[in-house]
Amino acid sequence: MRVIPPPSLESVLQNADSSIVATFGVLVIALLYSVHVLGSKKQAIKPRRIHNPDSTLPVIGNLLDVTKDDRVHDWLLEQCIKFKGEPWQMNIPGAQPTVIMYIPEMMEDVTSTQFGTFEKGQFQRERMEQMLGDSIVLTDGERWQRQRKAGVKFFTSQDLVEFILTFVLAARDTTALTLAWIFYELGRNPQVEKAIRKEMTEKLDFGKDAYLTAEDIRSLTYLEAVIKETLRFHPVAPFTTRQKTKDTFVCGDIPIKKGQTVGLSIYSINRNPMVWGPDAHEFNPERWIDTKTGNIINVPATKLFTFAAGPRICVGMTLAMMELRVVSANLLRKYRFEVDLSKNDGSYAAGMTLNMQYPLPVNVKRV
């Protein structure tokens, strides 16, 4: 019979050390896991409070605020200024509360960061389908992607109809409205018109009867500033919406439920003092010109939101800007426009676009 010798003291200590190390390792892992779990619980998203306007009434919500007069966009702006970047919601009977977006961070999250889960949605389609059809303005998903890539390349007669509705009707009205607001502001601010004419005299070596092309007017920095300031101050599409396709948080802690509508208040972000400074309520083209270089200051689309931002930024933006530059430059080069402000106070008629409430009487004279 073989006698197995007892283990040496050295081996016992080595095995004991190994057991202690293994046990200690397990304890450390368990401790780290517990810390991670507890930390995760502490870092759980705490939804931010969504405010309601003081004028919100039982049952009818803010129906009176948006229908009692044609100041709906100014009312939205007043609420946005009051809540100072905090989320708030507009309540209309028969619909989920609409959470209003009105600072660049909110706009970027909805239109870019979470673009794939925010659609135009049923709310807009039901209200605009009769006018714009199934065009790029209203479509979502695969059809929108195809139309966006196609641009002006037609595949079927239906594509042609949708192109006309989008690029001719929608673009024509919005560009014409912006031109009207430009001349309204020139009538209200004669020093601005004087500065444009001075710039033309100094930078353009053409006769007054010469037609100015897009290339000819590239150097007209002040005219560009006037156009951009008009687009900021009088956005012809003052409000739009998106609909959420799943539960989410905007800006990390603003809860938006699946199917809920968010309102993108373009009028409010374009006139918000938090975004544009204390003179946001003033028409001031100089804000666009760098005092050191004399060049136009470029701002992100999520700040000047007139053409929207992200993948759904206005497909006709470049064309619209070219039209505004060329038309306004050629008109101001040849004619003087005397606006009768006694019959137009600059108020707008509430609607999908920012139409003037009253006609704009103008006396046109040859320069």
Choose among 281, 278, 289: nearest CA to 346: 281
For the chain, the first-to-last Cα distance in angstroms comes to 127
Question: How far apart are alpha carbons 285 and 125 in whole angstroms?
Answer: 36
C-alpha distances in angstroms, 58 versus 54, 71, 107, 343? 12, 22, 30, 39
Q: What number of helices (H) and strands (E) belong to the chain?
A: 13, 11
Torsion of CA 193, 199, 205, 209, to 10 degrees: -10
Looking at residue 296, the DSSP 8-state letter turns out to be: B
196 Cβ partners below 8 Å, 6+ apart? 186, 220, 222, 223, 226, 332
CB-side exposure of 197: number of CA atoms within 13 Å?
15
How many other CB atoms are there within 10 angstroms of residue 117's CB atom? Answer: 16
Tokens 């100014």 label which residue?
74
Question: How far apart are alpha carbons 226 and 222 in whole angstroms?
Answer: 6
* 274 close to 103: Cβ distance less than 8 angstroms: yes
Binding residue per annotation — 314?
A: yes
SS3 (DSSP) at 279? coil
* 325 close to 47: Cβ distance less than 8 angstroms: no
331-346 burial string, b = 16+ CB within 10 Å, else e? ebbeeebebeeeebeb
For residue 334, the one-letter residue type is K
Residues in binding site for heme: 314
Binding-site residue set: 314
